Amino acid sequence: GSSLYPITKKIPKPMLMINKKPHLENVVDKLIEEGFQNITLCLNYKYENIISYFKKRKKKAEISYSIEKKRLGTAGPIRFGVNEKTVFPMIVINADLITDLKFSNLLNFQNNNKNALTVGVKREKYKLPFATVDYKKEKILSITEKPEKFYYFNTGIYMMNKDIIKLIPKNKKFDMPDLISKTLSKKKIVTAFYIYENWYDFGTRENYKMLKK
Protein backbone atom coordinates (compact mmCIF):
# COMPACT_ATOMS: atom_id res chain seq x y z
CA GLY A 1 0.00 0.00 0.00
CA SER A 2 2.97 2.38 -0.41
CA SER A 3 1.18 4.22 -3.24
CA LEU A 4 -1.66 5.07 -0.83
CA TYR A 5 0.57 6.24 2.02
CA PRO A 6 -0.16 7.85 4.52
CA ILE A 7 -3.69 6.41 4.29
CA THR A 8 -2.17 2.95 4.78
CA LYS A 9 0.16 3.95 7.63
CA LYS A 10 -2.02 2.12 10.15
CA ILE A 11 -4.39 0.12 7.94
CA PRO A 12 -3.33 -2.46 5.29
CA LYS A 13 -4.69 -1.53 1.86
CA PRO A 14 -7.22 -4.41 1.55
CA MET A 15 -8.89 -3.24 4.80
CA LEU A 16 -9.66 0.28 3.59
CA MET A 17 -13.38 1.07 3.78
CA ILE A 18 -15.45 0.84 0.60
CA ASN A 19 -19.25 0.49 0.71
CA LYS A 20 -19.06 0.90 4.51
CA LYS A 21 -17.00 -2.29 4.93
CA PRO A 22 -13.33 -3.20 4.71
CA HIS A 23 -12.85 -3.99 1.02
CA LEU A 24 -11.35 -7.42 1.68
CA GLU A 25 -14.62 -8.38 3.37
CA ASN A 26 -16.48 -7.39 0.18
CA VAL A 27 -14.18 -9.69 -1.83
CA VAL A 28 -14.61 -12.61 0.59
CA ASP A 29 -18.41 -12.16 0.71
CA LYS A 30 -18.60 -12.14 -3.09
CA LEU A 31 -16.66 -15.40 -3.26
CA ILE A 32 -18.90 -17.01 -0.65
CA GLU A 33 -22.05 -15.85 -2.45
CA GLU A 34 -20.78 -17.61 -5.60
CA GLY A 35 -20.21 -20.87 -3.74
CA PHE A 36 -16.49 -20.78 -2.95
CA GLN A 37 -15.92 -22.32 0.47
CA ASN A 38 -12.14 -22.61 1.02
CA ILE A 39 -10.46 -19.21 1.04
CA THR A 40 -6.83 -18.47 1.86
CA LEU A 41 -5.63 -14.94 2.57
CA CYS A 42 -1.93 -14.43 1.78
CA LEU A 43 -0.74 -11.72 4.15
CA ASN A 44 2.31 -9.66 5.03
CA TYR A 45 1.88 -5.99 5.94
CA LYS A 46 -0.02 -5.55 9.26
CA TYR A 47 -1.44 -9.05 8.93
CA GLU A 48 -2.62 -9.04 12.57
CA ASN A 49 -5.19 -6.38 11.63
CA ILE A 50 -6.74 -8.66 9.00
CA ILE A 51 -6.70 -11.90 11.02
CA SER A 52 -8.28 -10.32 14.12
CA TYR A 53 -11.06 -8.81 11.99
CA PHE A 54 -12.00 -12.01 10.19
CA LYS A 55 -11.86 -14.15 13.33
CA LYS A 56 -14.68 -12.01 14.76
CA ARG A 57 -16.97 -12.76 11.81
CA LYS A 58 -19.63 -15.42 11.91
CA LYS A 59 -18.22 -18.39 10.06
CA LYS A 60 -19.55 -18.50 6.49
CA ALA A 61 -16.62 -20.28 4.88
CA GLU A 62 -13.30 -21.89 5.76
CA ILE A 63 -10.78 -19.03 5.88
CA SER A 64 -7.11 -19.83 6.39
CA TYR A 65 -4.10 -17.53 6.50
CA SER A 66 -0.69 -17.72 4.86
CA ILE A 67 1.73 -15.21 6.39
CA GLU A 68 4.88 -14.19 4.52
CA LYS A 69 7.98 -13.69 6.65
CA LYS A 70 9.28 -11.49 3.84
CA ARG A 71 7.57 -9.99 0.82
CA LEU A 72 7.30 -12.57 -1.93
CA GLY A 73 5.67 -10.55 -4.69
CA THR A 74 2.29 -11.25 -6.31
CA ALA A 75 2.94 -14.93 -7.16
CA GLY A 76 5.41 -16.09 -4.48
CA PRO A 77 2.78 -16.37 -1.68
CA ILE A 78 0.56 -18.69 -3.75
CA ARG A 79 2.83 -21.67 -3.13
CA PHE A 80 2.53 -21.21 0.64
CA GLY A 81 -1.20 -20.54 0.42
CA VAL A 82 -1.98 -23.99 -0.98
CA ASN A 83 -3.06 -26.52 1.65
CA GLU A 84 -4.76 -29.91 1.90
CA LYS A 85 -8.19 -28.29 1.46
CA THR A 86 -7.29 -26.46 -1.74
CA VAL A 87 -9.50 -27.43 -4.68
CA PHE A 88 -8.18 -27.04 -8.22
CA PRO A 89 -8.50 -25.20 -10.48
CA MET A 90 -7.86 -22.40 -8.00
CA ILE A 91 -8.84 -18.77 -8.34
CA VAL A 92 -6.29 -16.12 -7.35
CA ILE A 93 -7.34 -12.49 -6.89
CA ASN A 94 -5.47 -9.32 -6.00
CA ALA A 95 -6.98 -7.72 -2.91
CA ASP A 96 -7.13 -4.15 -4.24
CA LEU A 97 -9.68 -4.54 -7.02
CA ILE A 98 -13.42 -4.27 -7.44
CA THR A 99 -15.31 -6.10 -10.17
CA ASP A 100 -18.79 -7.29 -11.11
CA LEU A 101 -17.29 -10.38 -12.76
CA LYS A 102 -18.99 -13.65 -11.81
CA PHE A 103 -16.05 -15.77 -10.72
CA SER A 104 -18.04 -18.90 -11.53
CA ASN A 105 -17.93 -17.89 -15.23
CA LEU A 106 -14.14 -17.81 -15.02
CA LEU A 107 -14.18 -21.24 -13.39
CA ASN A 108 -16.40 -22.65 -16.16
CA PHE A 109 -14.08 -21.18 -18.80
CA GLN A 110 -11.07 -22.82 -17.17
CA ASN A 111 -12.77 -26.21 -16.90
CA ASN A 112 -14.00 -26.13 -20.50
CA ASN A 113 -10.63 -25.15 -22.00
CA LYS A 114 -8.37 -27.45 -19.93
CA ASN A 115 -5.59 -24.87 -20.01
CA ALA A 116 -2.92 -24.53 -17.33
CA LEU A 117 -3.47 -20.87 -16.49
CA THR A 118 -6.14 -18.30 -17.29
CA VAL A 119 -5.50 -14.56 -16.99
CA GLY A 120 -8.34 -12.06 -16.70
CA VAL A 121 -7.78 -9.14 -19.10
CA LYS A 122 -9.42 -5.86 -20.06
CA ARG A 123 -8.76 -3.26 -22.75
CA GLU A 124 -7.67 0.32 -22.17
CA LYS A 125 -7.17 3.14 -24.66
CA TYR A 126 -4.05 5.24 -24.30
CA LYS A 127 -3.73 8.56 -26.10
CA LEU A 128 -0.22 9.94 -26.45
CA PRO A 129 -0.29 13.68 -25.63
CA PHE A 130 2.21 14.47 -28.40
CA ALA A 131 2.46 14.09 -32.15
CA THR A 132 4.65 11.12 -33.11
CA VAL A 133 7.28 11.36 -35.81
CA ASP A 134 8.65 8.58 -37.99
CA TYR A 135 12.01 9.43 -39.49
CA LYS A 136 15.02 7.80 -41.11
CA LYS A 137 18.47 9.30 -41.57
CA GLU A 138 17.23 12.66 -40.28
CA LYS A 139 14.43 12.84 -42.88
CA ILE A 140 10.87 12.90 -41.55
CA LEU A 141 8.73 10.30 -43.27
CA SER A 142 5.44 10.97 -41.51
CA ILE A 143 3.84 12.65 -38.51
CA THR A 144 0.76 11.56 -36.56
CA GLU A 145 -1.04 13.94 -34.20
CA LYS A 146 -1.65 12.47 -30.71
CA PRO A 147 -2.14 8.86 -31.79
CA GLU A 148 -4.38 6.47 -29.84
CA LYS A 149 -3.66 2.82 -29.18
CA PHE A 150 -5.53 0.08 -27.36
CA TYR A 151 -3.73 -2.18 -24.90
CA TYR A 152 -4.91 -5.31 -23.16
CA PHE A 153 -3.90 -5.31 -19.51
CA ASN A 154 -3.71 -7.85 -16.72
CA THR A 155 -6.55 -7.37 -14.19
CA GLY A 156 -5.04 -9.34 -11.30
CA ILE A 157 -7.60 -12.16 -11.57
CA TYR A 158 -6.39 -15.69 -12.40
CA MET A 159 -7.44 -19.32 -12.51
CA MET A 160 -4.75 -21.98 -12.32
CA ASN A 161 -4.36 -25.74 -12.29
CA LYS A 162 -2.32 -27.69 -9.76
CA ASP A 163 0.72 -28.22 -11.98
CA ILE A 164 1.31 -24.45 -12.04
CA ILE A 165 2.14 -24.38 -8.32
CA LYS A 166 5.44 -26.23 -8.70
CA LEU A 167 6.65 -23.51 -11.10
CA ILE A 168 6.64 -21.01 -8.22
CA PRO A 169 10.01 -20.96 -6.42
CA LYS A 170 10.06 -21.41 -2.64
CA ASN A 171 10.73 -18.42 -0.42
CA LYS A 172 11.71 -16.13 -3.30
CA LYS A 173 10.16 -12.92 -4.60
CA PHE A 174 8.19 -13.91 -7.69
CA ASP A 175 5.54 -11.86 -9.46
CA MET A 176 2.65 -12.97 -11.66
CA PRO A 177 4.32 -11.79 -14.92
CA ASP A 178 7.25 -14.06 -13.93
CA LEU A 179 4.87 -16.98 -13.44
CA ILE A 180 3.07 -16.36 -16.73
CA SER A 181 6.40 -16.18 -18.60
CA LYS A 182 7.65 -19.35 -16.92
CA THR A 183 4.40 -21.18 -17.73
CA LEU A 184 4.74 -20.20 -21.40
CA SER A 185 8.39 -21.28 -21.45
CA LYS A 186 7.26 -24.74 -20.30
CA LYS A 187 4.97 -24.90 -23.38
CA LYS A 188 1.88 -24.91 -21.20
CA ILE A 189 -1.31 -23.24 -22.41
CA VAL A 190 -2.09 -19.79 -21.01
CA THR A 191 -5.37 -18.22 -22.11
CA ALA A 192 -6.89 -14.78 -21.77
CA PHE A 193 -10.38 -14.36 -20.32
CA TYR A 194 -11.85 -11.01 -21.34
CA ILE A 195 -13.71 -9.25 -18.54
CA TYR A 196 -16.64 -7.27 -19.95
CA GLU A 197 -17.93 -6.35 -16.50
CA ASN A 198 -16.88 -3.34 -14.45
CA TRP A 199 -13.36 -3.48 -13.04
CA TYR A 200 -11.53 -0.97 -10.87
CA ASP A 201 -8.48 -0.97 -8.66
CA PHE A 202 -7.65 1.46 -5.88
CA GLY A 203 -3.89 1.39 -6.20
CA THR A 204 -3.65 5.20 -6.07
CA ARG A 205 -5.12 7.82 -3.77
CA GLU A 206 -7.06 9.32 -6.68
CA ASN A 207 -8.73 5.99 -7.51
CA TYR A 208 -9.50 5.29 -3.86
CA LYS A 209 -11.17 8.70 -3.37
CA MET A 210 -13.22 8.17 -6.54
CA LEU A 211 -14.38 4.70 -5.45
CA LYS A 212 -15.31 5.91 -1.96
CA LYS A 213 -17.74 8.34 -3.61
Q: What is the pLDDT of residues 42-61, one digit of tens each?
A: 998 888 989 998 888 877 77
137-153 pLDDT tens trace: 889 999 998 888 899 99
Q: How confident is the model at residue 120 (pLDDT cuts 50, 70, 90)?
A: very high
> Is the pLDDT confidence value at 18 over 90?
no
On whether the CB atoms of residues 33 and 61 are closer than 8 A, the answer is no
Per-residue CA distances from 188 to 1, 93, 116, 118 (Å): 33, 21, 6, 11
Q: Is 138 left (phi over 0), alpha (psi -120 to 50) or beta?
A: left
Give CA angle at 166 (113, 184), nearest 5°. 50
For the chain, what percentages of helix, strand and coil (3-state, to nearest 5) are there? 30, 30, 40
Average pLDDT value for residue range 24-28: 91
CB atoms closer than 10 angstroms to residue 210: 11
Regarding beta strands 62-67 and 132-136, do their DSSP bridges make them parallel or antiparallel, or are they unpaired? Answer: unpaired
pLDDT at 121: 95
Contacts of 133 (CB under 8 A, 6+ apart): 140, 142, 143
- DSSP 8-state secondary structure symbol assigned to residue 145: S
Contacts of 132 (CB under 8 A, 6+ apart): 143, 144, 147
On whether the CB atoms of residues 119 and 191 are closer than 8 A, the answer is yes
Q: How confident is the model at residue 17 (pLDDT cuts 50, 70, 90)?
A: confident
> Is the pLDDT confidence value at 167 over 90?
yes
> Is the pLDDT confidence value at 6 over 70?
yes
pLDDT at 1: 66
pLDDT at 193: 95
For residue 14, cis peptide bond before it (omega within 30 degrees of 0): no
Average pLDDT value for residue range 170-189: 93
pLDDT at 205: 75
> Is the pLDDT confidence value at 123 over 70?
yes
pTM (two decimals): 0.86
62-107 pLDDT tens trace: 888 988 888 888 899 998 888 888 888 999 999 888 899 999 899 9
Q: How confident is the model at residue 175 (pLDDT cuts 50, 70, 90)?
A: very high
> Is the pLDDT confidence value at 196 over 90?
yes
